[in-house]
């Protein structure tokens, strides 16, 4: 295939034709298996985090998600628990054995968050925050880079290139939906980006069907479609009581729904010669 644009040097598939595998506490991201990352949008309390973490771990998630610093559209919305949330995240990680991913919004948070998290998330709104990308490139942790909601695949790869160019080649790309004219879903989940990114880059590609749709009932369909399209994993929002969630409850699965979905995902993975780790 002739690339649609000049693929940045370091992220380019040529750099590692077999595909990069990122190891996080014994879990391979980007290998033959697909990894499931799940947990609440935001860490809200000890009970909420621990109960949710125990459920997703029981049903087969390998990595726990949970935001301590939240990028909210309104300054009056819940902004996250901050450092206290990070401490809870570390505690629940020790209890469940799951590594954890959480967002960094600012260069000044990288050092602190690195003490507690196994993977640093650079969110959609910060995909073109170049100082943050450069600092993430100097961090000693894998980076989960989410596609900007207005970013092309080329811009997404260039953002990843910023991180690699600073010496950190542990980057996981995440398709999380883009803004289009469509309003029935929160975003338009661009699943065609999965084979495109895998074709152009050696980096692992995962999909976030929660932010990609914004609709709880639609998450299972798009999660299954993402695995069928060749994604190396999924990141999904799960809450022990979505109705009471302080953030993104409308797109969060309850533990029972997550459990049913995991069963289906295993079948889809098997059908395409992969497995859910
Ligand atoms: C999130 O993962 O909770 C989040 C805010 O995601 P995004 O940056 O994709 O909107
Ligand atoms: Mn969210």
121 CA distance to ligand 1 middle (Å): 9
Residues 66-105 have pLDDT tens digits of 999 999 999 999 999 999 999 999 999 999 999 999 999 9
Q: Which ligand is nearest to the CA of 146?
A: 1
Claim: this prediction has a pTM higher than 0.85:
yes
Looking at residue 2, what is its pLDDT? Answer: 82
Please check the confidence at residue 257 and state whether its pLDDT lies above 90. Answer: yes
3-state secondary structure the chain: CCCCCCCCCCCEHHHCCCCCCEEECCEEECCCEEEEEEECCECCCHHHHHHHHHHHHHCCCCEEECECCCCCCCCCCCCCCCHHHHHHHHHHHHHHCCCEEEECCCHHHHHHHHHHCCEEEECHHHCCCHHHHHHHHHCCCCEEEECCCCCCHHHHHHHHHHHHHCCCCCEEEEECCECCCCCCCCCECCCCHHHHHHHHECCCEEECHHHHHCCHHHHHHHHHHHHHCCCCEEEEEECCCHHHCCCCHHHCECHHHHHHHHHHHHHHHHHCCCEEC
pLDDT in tens, 153-194: 999 999 999 999 999 999 999 999 999 999 999 999 999 999
Expressed in angstroms and rounded, the spacing between residue 85 Cα and the centre of ligand 2 is 15
Q: Residues 203-229: pLDDT tens digits?
A: 999 999 999 999 999 999 999 999 999
110 C-alpha to ligand 1 centroid (Å):
17
CB of 67 sitting under 6 A from ligand 1: yes
**How much is the mean pLDDT over the chain?**
98
């Amino acid at each position: 295939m002739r690339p649609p644009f000049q693929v940045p040097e370091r992220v380019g598939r040529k750099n590692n034709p077999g595909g990069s595998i990122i190891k996080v506490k014994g879990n391979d991201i980007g290998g033959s298996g697909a990894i499931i990352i799940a947990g609440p949008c935001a860490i809200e309390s000890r009970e909420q985090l621990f109960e949710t973490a125990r459920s997703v771990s029981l049903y087969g998630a390998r990595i726990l998600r949970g935001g301590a610093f939240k990028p909210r559209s309104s300054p009056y919305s819940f902004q996250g628990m901050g450092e206290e949330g990070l401490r809870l995240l570390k505690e629940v990680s020790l209890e469940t054995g799951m590594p954890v991913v959480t967002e960094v919004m600012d260069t000044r948070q990288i050092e602190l968050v690195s003490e507690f998290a196994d993977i640093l998330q650079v969110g959609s709104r910060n995909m073109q925050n170049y100082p943050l990308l450069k600092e993430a490139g100097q961090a000693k942790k894998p980076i989960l880079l989410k596609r900007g909601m207005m970013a092309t695949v080329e811009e997404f790869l260039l953002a990843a290139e910023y991180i690699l160019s600073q010496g950190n080649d542990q980057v996981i790309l995440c398709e999380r939906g883009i803004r289009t004219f469509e309003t029935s879903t929160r975003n338009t989940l661009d699943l065609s980006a999965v084979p495109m990114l895998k074709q152009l880059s050696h980096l692992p590609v995962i999909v976030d069907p929660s932010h990609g749709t914004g609709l709880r009932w639609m998450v299972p369909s798009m999660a299954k479609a993402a695995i069928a399209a060749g994604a190396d994993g999924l990141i999904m929002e799960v809450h022990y009581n979505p109705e009471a969630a302080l953030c993104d409850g409308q797109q969060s699965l309850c533990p029972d729904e997550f459990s049913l979905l995991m069963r289906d995902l295993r079948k889809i993975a098997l059908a395409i010669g992969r497995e859910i780790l």
